[in-house]
Amino acid sequence: MNGLYTALMCSFDEQGNINEKGLREIVRYNIDVSKVDGLYVNGSTGENFLISTEAKKKIFDIVKDEVGDSVKLIGQVGALNIDEAIELAQYATDLNYDAISAVTPFYYKFEFEEIKDYYNTILENVDNDLIIYSIPALTGVNMNLEQFGELFQNEKVIGVKFTAPDFFLLERLRHAYPNKLIYSGFDEMLLSASVLNIDGAIGSTFNVNGQRAKQIFELAQNGQIEEAREVQKVTNDLIAEILTNGLYQTIKEILKYKGVDAGFCRKPMKTLKPEGLAKARKIAEKYL
Ligand code: NAY
């Protein structure tokens, strides 16, 4: 399960329906052009929290059908409705997803014991391994070293997608749990995380910048830090421009520039205005 996973985008039409052809093209681009090791399906980048349970299942179906066994698949199933999380976990498992992942429950200020119960309850109901999806900036859920350790006591919790700029905690986690998988979640910090000996990374910008991300990760693993720094610098120039123009919308426009039918984002995400579209095109021409 090591390596680079794209946090997969989904193509939607202007009404917000799944564009199956476009989704298949995004999958193919990631496998054939970016050559990533796997796909993280129905994460934040997949606009998972904006779509229905049926739509989530349909995306799991289409992606598995397109991928077969050619790359690893992690299905994000986390939901505030724990019954939905279990249903999706079983669904992805039945489709032979290699692992499931679940975001920490958010919105309500859950106590740690409640968060632990959420993960253990999902895992009691599904025969698969799970990767914790930790993203404190969006969920408000900050867990410490000991709390991660408590979650890791469940053998089916095989790792964490660590989307936070806390390198002290990342180093402590790596040191304390050498047998758990640690994936870095912020693409702009990939090199810094890689030198701490992470097992892989999961990122939204890999949809378009997967080749550079792979280079950064592999150069760092080979100890070629100076070379990795150069690639991270270009990557961060690209990410900075994407972030100022609208993250997911701009990635979709770059994909379109590359001939991929990436569609639109779902409301309430904005649609880029002509200036934003022109900016996205400039970014694509400059970096890809
Ligand atoms: C997800 O589930 O799609 C992710 O969390 C992937 C990680 C990304 N986080 C979000 C919130 O999109 O790739 C990052 C992020 O977009 C990138 O580093 C730019 O900041």
Mind listing the pLDDT tens digit for each residue in 187-220? 999 999 999 999 999 999 999 999 999 999 999 9
Residue 245: predicted pLDDT: 98
In short, whether 135's Cβ falls inside 6 Å of ligand 1 is yes
Q: Using a CB cutoff of 8 Å and minimum separation of 24, what contacts does 145-148 make? A: 145/169, 145/172, 145/173, 145/176, 147/112, 147/115, 148/173, 148/177
Give the number of other Cβ atoms within 10 Å of residue 157's Cβ: 22
Q: Which residue ranges make up each domain of the chain?
A: 3-223
Its ipTM equals 0.97
Beta carbon of 169 within 6 Å of any ligand 1 atom: no
Q: Which atom of ligand 1 is nearest to the CA of 189?
A: 18
Q: Is any atom of ligand 1 closer than 6 Å to the C-beta of 134?
A: no
Ligand 1 closest atom vs CA 206: 13
User: Binding site residues, as ranges?
Assistant: 44-45, 163, 185, 187-188, 202, 204
Residues with catalytic function: 133, 161
pLDDT digits (tens, 9 = 90+) for 82-111: 999 999 999 999 999 999 999 999 999 999
Minimum-distance ligand 1 atom for the alpha carbon of 187: 18
Supply the pLDDT for residue 182.
98
- Binding-site residue numbers for pyruvate are 45, 202
Phi and psi, residue 258, nearest 5°: -85, 10
Residue-averaged pLDDT of the chain? 98
Q: What's residue 92's pLDDT?
A: 98
| pLDDT confidence tier of residue 124, bands split at 50, 70 and 90 | very high
pLDDT attached to residue 79? 98
Q: Determine contact, residues 23/11, Cβ cutoff 8 Å.
A: yes
Rounded to the nearest angstrom, the distance between the alpha carbon of 149 and the centre of ligand 1 is 24
Per-residue pLDDT, 35: 96
The residue type found at 252 is K
Centroid of chain to Cα 150: 23
Q: What token pair was written down for 177?
A: 């749990």
7-35 residue pLDDT tens: 999 999 999 999 999 999 999 999 999 99
**What's the alpha-carbon Rg for the chain, to the nearest Å?**
18
Q: Tell me what pLDDT residue 70 has.
A: 98
Cα distances (Å, whole numbers) of residue 279 to 10, 77, 211, 267, 286 = 21, 34, 22, 21, 10
- The position carrying tokens 């799970």 is 130
Per-residue confidence (pLDDT) for residue 132, from 0 to 100: 98
Inter-CA distances, 108 with 82, 166, 249, Å: 14, 23, 29
Q: How remote is the CA of residue 13 from the centroid of ligand 1, in Å? A: 22
DSSP 49: G
pLDDT at 63: 99
Q: Indicate whether residue 208 lines ligand 1 (CB < 6 A).
A: no
Position 3 scores a pLDDT of 98
Residue closest to 188 by CA, chosen among 221, 235, 226, 225: 235
Compute, in angstroms, the gap from residue 49 CA to the centroid of ligand 1. Answer: 14
What is the dihedral sign for C-alpha 116, 122, 127, 130? negative
Q: Is the CB of 210 within 6 Å of ligand 1? A: no
Report, as an integer, the average pLDDT of 143-159. 98
**CATH number corresponding to 3-223:** 3.20.20.70
Residues annotated within a binding site for aceneuramate: 44-45, 163, 185, 187-188, 204
Cα of 44 to ligand 1 centre, how many Å? 7
- Rounded-to-10 torsion of CA 32, 103, 123, 194: 60
Burial of 84 (0-12, 13-18, 19+ CB in 10 A): middle
Q: Are 36 and 206 in contact (CB under 8 A)?
A: yes
Beta strands, E only, 92-196: 99-103, 130-134, 157-162, 181-184
**234 SS3 class:** helix
Q: Does residue 163's CB lie within 6 angstroms of at least one atom of ligand 1?
A: yes
Distance 68 CA to ligand 1 centre (A): 25
Task: Give nearest CA residue, ligand 1 atom 11.
Answer: 44
DSSP-assigned beta bridge partners for residue 161: 133, 183
* Residues of the chain above pLDDT 90, percent: 100
Q: Is 241 in the pocket of ligand 1 (CB under 6 A)?
A: no
Q: Which of 5, 163, 247 to mutate to test the pocket of ligand 1 (most atoms within 8 A of CB)?
A: 163
pLDDT band at 165 (very low <50, low <70, confident <90, very high): very high
Quick check: pTM over 0.90? yes
- At 203 the pLDDT is 98
